[in-house]
Amino acid sequence: MPTCTTRKVIRKIPVKDMINFLPIDDVKKVDHFIYTLKIENQGNRAKVSQEIGNPYLSRSKTVWMKREEDFEANLSGEEGTTEETKSSWFKRIKKGILTSTAEKKETPEGLWTKCPSCNYICTVTELRENLFVCPKDGHHHRIGSDEYFEILFNDNKYDILFENIRSKDFLHFTDLKSYQKRLEETWNKTDITDSIRIAAGQVREHHMVIGCMDFEFIGGSLGSVMGERIARAVDYCLQHRTPLIIICKSGGARMMESAFSLMQLAKVSAKLSQLTDARIPYISLLTDPSFGGISASFGMLGDLNIAEPGALIGFAGPRVIRETIKKDLPEGFQRSEFLLEHGFLDFIVNRKELKHKIATVLALLKN
């Protein structure tokens, strides 16, 4: 059964043709026709005319094709034939512009970055100069150990400790791929040997040991190597009477090491108690994200527990908690501001003030 569309046109002055006012699939059907009723005002008398036809085969299609040709002519630097294309806002002045593939330049990757919080776009250089803090809303971007060491140590001078300790696949664990293959791929992609790096150097006038986790290495997960490096860092601090800072950024225990990973919770907690007995400060800096076994053990055992603004800190993730209790969570749940309000943190420090705050706290503790 043929379909029919009725169109009424009432006009006092000439108007442009209505082009493709129907969905193109309907217009192309040969059994579709248009019934057009035109009413024009001529000396206070109405002139009525009617038209029946298929617009896909009518003058409208011809006009559209003509305009398309004129537009392409403008792009190639030629003049169109209609008044509309002659007065177009865009005209190519120079004809025949051809650029060889070899001469085309691609924008290098890594020049620009977008803030995940406010979508502000800036250059990586600008973000680095601002210590990877968004210039617009102050969002703290995730950074690795190299960036933290550069921020904290004087003149970016420090000594890396215990890099010879490497992870091994004692259990021959395999999920989508073997644990050993996963380790080798990560070592090849990055210069990081494990999920934490230990460094010693000067922070203002204080000699310090800083352990910083790298989320890039299997999600900053806690494994036997992390536990051993922290334990040796504690021994170094005891020997040199040096304060210890651990910058936490982890998703929790490393499942590929099973019980070996879980044993590190007790091992590190016991070693940190030796610092307490020796009256040597230990500061825990929680950054985004700090979850699982980290927050359940040494992440919350500092003489001072501090955090960056907006850091996500907890044991289980908010989605898991919401599905378990079947209730909506409070606004800002598990963010550092929420934890500070409920007594889990001592204070929140902006990354730009981190070095100054730590030096001030250590000076107060010494005196």
How far, rounded to the nearest angstrom, does the alpha carbon of residue 308 sit from its chain's CA centroid? 17
pLDDT in tens, 150-176: 999 999 999 999 999 999 998 999 988
Among the residue ranges 31-45, 158-172, 227-241, 347-361, the one predicted with the least confidence is 31-45
Q: Model confidence at 22, in pLDDT bands (50, 70, 90)? A: very low
Q: If we measure between CA atoms, which residue out of 264, 228, 253, 262 comes closest to residue 315? A: 253
pLDDT, residue 269, reads 94
Residue 251 has pLDDT above 60, yes or no: yes
- The residue among 110 and 353 whose pLDDT is bigger is 353
- The residue among 52 and 313 whose pLDDT is bigger is 313
Residue 292 has pLDDT above 60, yes or no: yes
pLDDT, residue 317, reads 84
Helix (H, G, I), strand (E, B) or coil at 114: strand
Pull the structure tokens for residue 270.
Answer: 């016991």
pLDDT in tens, 302-339: 999 999 999 999 998 888 898 899 888 888 898 999 99
Most confident of the ranges 193-197, 251-255, 314-318: 193-197
User: Can you give 196-249 as a three-state secondary structure string?
Assistant: EEEEEEEECCEEEEEEEECCCCHHHCECHHHHHHHHHHHHHHHHHCCCEEEEEE
Average pLDDT rounded to a whole number, residues 235-239: 96
For residues 56, 60, 66, 69, the Cα torsion angle rounded to the nearest 10 degrees is -50
- The residue among 104 and 313 whose pLDDT is bigger is 313
Residue 63 has pLDDT above 70, yes or no: no
292, 222 contact by CB (below 8 A): yes
Residue 96 has pLDDT above 70, yes or no: no
pLDDT, residue 210, reads 97
Average pLDDT rounded to a whole number, residues 54-77: 54
For residues 115, 294, 248, 235, the Cα torsion angle rounded to the nearest 10 degrees is -170
Average pLDDT rounded to a whole number, residues 91-114: 67
- Sequence letter at residue 36: T
Residue 205 has pLDDT above 90, yes or no: yes
Q: What percent of the chain has pLDDT over 70?
A: 70
Residue 272 has pLDDT above 60, yes or no: yes
pLDDT, residue 24, reads 47
Among the residue ranges 105-109, 198-202, 228-232, the one predicted with the least confidence is 105-109
Q: Model confidence at 39, in pLDDT bands (50, 70, 90)? A: low
Q: What is the DSSP letter of 55?
A: G
Q: Model confidence at 190, in pLDDT bands (50, 70, 90)? A: confident
pLDDT, residue 18, reads 44
Using a cut of 0.85, tell me whether the model's pTM lies above it. Answer: no
pLDDT, residue 175, reads 87
